[in-house]
Amino acid sequence: MLAETLSAIRPADPQALADARAHHDRLTKPRGSLGALEEVAIRLAGAAGVSPPPMPEPAALAIFAADHGVHARGVSPWPQEVTVQMVANFLNGGAVANAFAAQAGASVTVVDVGVAADLPDAPGLVNRKIAYGTADLSQGPAMTVDQAVRGLEVGIQVAKDLVADGARCLITGDMGIANTTASAALVSAFTGRDPGEVTGRGTGIDDETYELKVGIVRQAMRTHALAGVASSPSESLRALAAVGGFEHAAIAGFILGGAALRVPVILDGVISGAAALVSAALDPAVTDHCVAGHRSAEPGHGAALEHLGLRPIMDLELRLGEGTGGLLAHPTVCAAVRVLHEVATFDSAGVTEKQV
Amino acid sequence: MLAETLSAIRPADPQALADARAHHDRLTKPRGSLGALEEVAIRLAGAAGVSPPPMPEPAALAIFAADHGVHARGVSPWPQEVTVQMVANFLNGGAVANAFAAQAGASVTVVDVGVAADLPDAPGLVNRKIAYGTADLSQGPAMTVDQAVRGLEVGIQVAKDLVADGARCLITGDMGIANTTASAALVSAFTGRDPGEVTGRGTGIDDETYELKVGIVRQAMRTHALAGVASSPSESLRALAAVGGFEHAAIAGFILGGAALRVPVILDGVISGAAALVSAALDPAVTDHCVAGHRSAEPGHGAALEHLGLRPIMDLELRLGEGTGGLLAHPTVCAAVRVLHEVATFDSAGVTEKQV
- Give A235-290 pLDDT, tens digit per residue: 999 999 999 999 999 999 999 999 999 999 999 999 999 999 999 999 999 999 99
- The pLDDT score that the predictor gives to residue B90 is 98
- The pLDDT score that the predictor gives to residue B232 is 87
Q: Measure the CA–CA gap between B235 and A13, rounded to whole angstroms.
A: 57
- The pLDDT score that the predictor gives to residue A232 is 86
- The pLDDT score that the predictor gives to residue A297 is 93
Q: Which residues contact A275 (CB under 8 A, 6 or more apart)?
A: A172, A186, A244, A247, A248, A249, A251, A252, A254, A255
Q: Name the residue among A177, A2, A12, A173 with its Cα closest to residue A83.
A: A177
Which residue of B35, B315, B334 is in closest CB contact with A317? B35
Mean pLDDT of chain A: 96
Pairing of strands B290-292, A107-114: unpaired
Q: Burial, A356: exposed, middle or buried (Cβ in 10 Å; 0-12, 13-18, 19+)?
A: exposed
A95 and B28 within 8 Å at the Cβ level: the answer is yes
Taking contacts as CB-CB distances below 8 angstroms, the residues of chain B near A34 are 96, 316, 318, 320, 324
B314 and A319 within 8 Å at the Cβ level: the answer is no
Helix (H) or strand (E) holding A230: none
Mean pLDDT over A28-38 rounds to 96
Q: Measure the CA–CA gap between B15 and B52, rounded to whole angstroms.
A: 12
Catalytic residues of B: 322
**Could you tell me the pTM of the whole model?**
0.97
Taking contacts as CB-CB distances below 8 angstroms, the residues of chain A near B315 are 315
Mean pLDDT of chain B: 96
Pairing of strands A265-267, B59-66: unpaired
Q: Mutation target for A interface from B24, B26, B27, B29: give the one with most A CBs within 10 A.
A: B29
Taking contacts as CB-CB distances below 8 angstroms, the residues of chain A near B93 are 342
In this predicted structure, the answer to whether residue B356 has a pLDDT above a threshold of 90 is no
- The pLDDT score that the predictor gives to residue A202 is 82
- Give B247-304 pLDDT, tens digit per residue: 999 999 999 999 999 999 999 999 999 999 999 999 999 999 999 999 999 999 999 9
Mean pLDDT over A43-48 rounds to 98
- The pLDDT score that the predictor gives to residue B202 is 82
DSSP-derived letter for residue A316 is S
Higher pLDDT, A228 or A355: A355
Distances (CA, A) of A19 to A12, A45, B218, B307: 12, 8, 42, 41
Q: Measure the CA–CA gap between A67 and A80, rounded to whole angstroms.
A: 7
pLDDT band at B227 (very low <50, low <70, confident <90, very high): confident
Pairing of strands B125-127, B107-114: parallel
What's the per-residue H, E or C state across chain B?
Answer: CHHHHHHHCCCCCHHHHHHHHHHHHHECCCCCCCCHHHHHHHHHHHHHCCCCCCCCCCEEEEEEEECCHHHHHCCCCCCCHHHHHHHHHHHCCCCHHHHHHHHHCCEEEEEEEECCCCCCCCCCEEECCCCCCCCCCCCCCCCCHHHHHHHHHHHHHHHHHHHHCCCCEEEEEEECCCHHHHHHHHHHHHHCCCHHHHCCCCCCCCHHHHHHHHHHHHHHHHHCCCCCCCCCHHHHHHHHHHHCCHHHHHHHHHHHHHHHCCCCEEECCHHHHHHHHHHHHHCHHHHHHEEECECCCCHHHHHHHHHHCCCCCECCCCCCCCCHHHHHHHHHHHHHHHHHHHCCEHHHHCCCCCCC
- The pLDDT score that the predictor gives to residue B355 is 79
Mean pLDDT over A135-154 rounds to 98
Distance from CA of A329 to the nearest CA of B (A): 8
- The pLDDT score that the predictor gives to residue A229 is 65
Tell me what ipTM this predicted complex has: 0.97
- The pLDDT score that the predictor gives to residue A227 is 78
Catalytic residues of A: 322
Q: What phi, psi does A56 have (nearest 5°)?
A: -80, 55
Taking contacts as CB-CB distances below 8 angstroms, the residues of chain A near B85 are 349-352
The answer to whether residues A44 and A334 touch, using CB atoms and an 8 Å cutoff, is no
A95 and B344 within 8 Å at the Cβ level: the answer is yes
- The pLDDT score that the predictor gives to residue A203 is 78
Q: What phi, psi does B21 have (nearest 5°)?
A: -65, -45
Q: Measure the CA–CA gap between A2 and A7, rounded to whole angstroms.
A: 9
B354 and A78 within 8 Å at the Cβ level: the answer is yes
pLDDT band at A354 (very low <50, low <70, confident <90, very high): confident
Taking contacts as CB-CB distances below 8 angstroms, the residues of chain B near A297 are 35
In this predicted structure, the answer to whether residue A85 has a pLDDT above a threshold of 90 is yes
In this predicted structure, the answer to whether residue B229 has a pLDDT above a threshold of 80 is no
Chain B residue with minimal CA distance to A34? B318
DSSP-derived letter for residue A314 is B
Which residue of A36, A319, A324 is in closest CB contact with B317? A36
- The pLDDT score that the predictor gives to residue A230 is 65
Which residue of B33, B78, B318 is in closest CB contact with A354? B78
Q: Measure the CA–CA gap between B340 and B338, rounded to whole angstroms.
A: 5
- The pLDDT score that the predictor gives to residue B353 is 87
Q: Measure the CA–CA gap between B235 and B295, rounded to whole angstroms.
A: 27
Q: Which amino acid is at A304?
A: A
- Give B108-166 pLDDT, tens digit per residue: 999 999 999 999 999 999 999 999 999 999 999 999 999 999 999 999 999 999 999 99
Chain A residue with minimal CA distance to B206? A356
Mean pLDDT over A68-97 rounds to 97
Chain B residue with minimal CA distance to A330? B331
Distance from CA of B144 to the nearest CA of A (A): 31
Distance from CA of A53 to the nearest CA of B (A): 15
